Amino acid sequence: MKRFLIKIKENMLLALLFCGISFLLIVGGIVYYRYEAEKIRKSRYAEIHSLAKLKSEVLSNWLRERQSDILVISESPIYQDAVEKWISDPRDEGLKKKLVERLLVVKKRYNYLEILLSDSLGNIYLSTGNHQEFDQELKGKLQESAFSGTPLHSGIYRCQFDQKSF
């Protein structure tokens, strides 16, 4: 009987040792899993962050290029002189045609939907499209651009007259 009790105690110690080791392995596995999950999460966050930063830089560069395109057209002394001549004599159809042709070349080469020539009040003088009238939202943006003296990007614009998006 004594041997039997010693055998039970040994088996209990082995069972307790087995349970202890199992518990430590389970806790270690959970801790390791959480560590790796956090490491993967941080890695993915860093990848997404770098992609967002790259995309932001690409969009910023694209916007700077579009602003440069606008400035190249608007600051051309030859084009400014031609516009001033035409505004002083709007009946000169030959000059108007040349101005529109110049804008059409820019429109085609830069793949723009439309190019407008307007005054500081938002009145449209020339357009490369069929539009002769625009809604107040666009006129407000044109006035804002004229007031600030810099090109203005308005984002996606939907004309209220023909429902086209620009």
Look up residue 105 and give its amino acid. Answer: V
pTM of the complete model: 0.59
Interval 72-97: pLDDT, tens: 888 888 888 988 898 888 888 899 89
> Does residue 153 or residue 41 have the better pLDDT?
41
Task: Give the pLDDT score at 131.
Answer: 62
Task: Give the pLDDT score at 56.
Answer: 95
Buried b / exposed e over 44-56, threshold 16 CB at 10 Å, is: eeeeeeeeeeeee
- Name the residue ranges covered by the structural domains of the chain: 1-75, 76-148
Which range, 16-20, 87-91, 108-112, is most confident? 16-20
pLDDT of 18 over the 60 cut: yes
Task: Give the pLDDT score at 161.
Answer: 59
CA dihedral for 27, 28, 30, 31, sign (positive or negative): positive
C-alpha–C-alpha distance, residues 166 and 27, integer Å: 59
C-alpha–C-alpha distance, residues 154 and 166, integer Å: 9
| pLDDT (average), residues 45-51 | 96
Given pLDDT bands bounded at 50, 70 and 90, which one contains residue 147? confident
What value does the mean pLDDT of the chain take? 83
Given pLDDT bands bounded at 50, 70 and 90, which one contains residue 1? low
**DSSP characters over 54-112:** HHHHHHHHHHHHHHHHHHHHHT-HHHHHHHHHHHH-TT-HHHHHHHHHHHHHHHHHHT-
C-alpha–C-alpha distance, residues 22 and 27, integer Å: 9
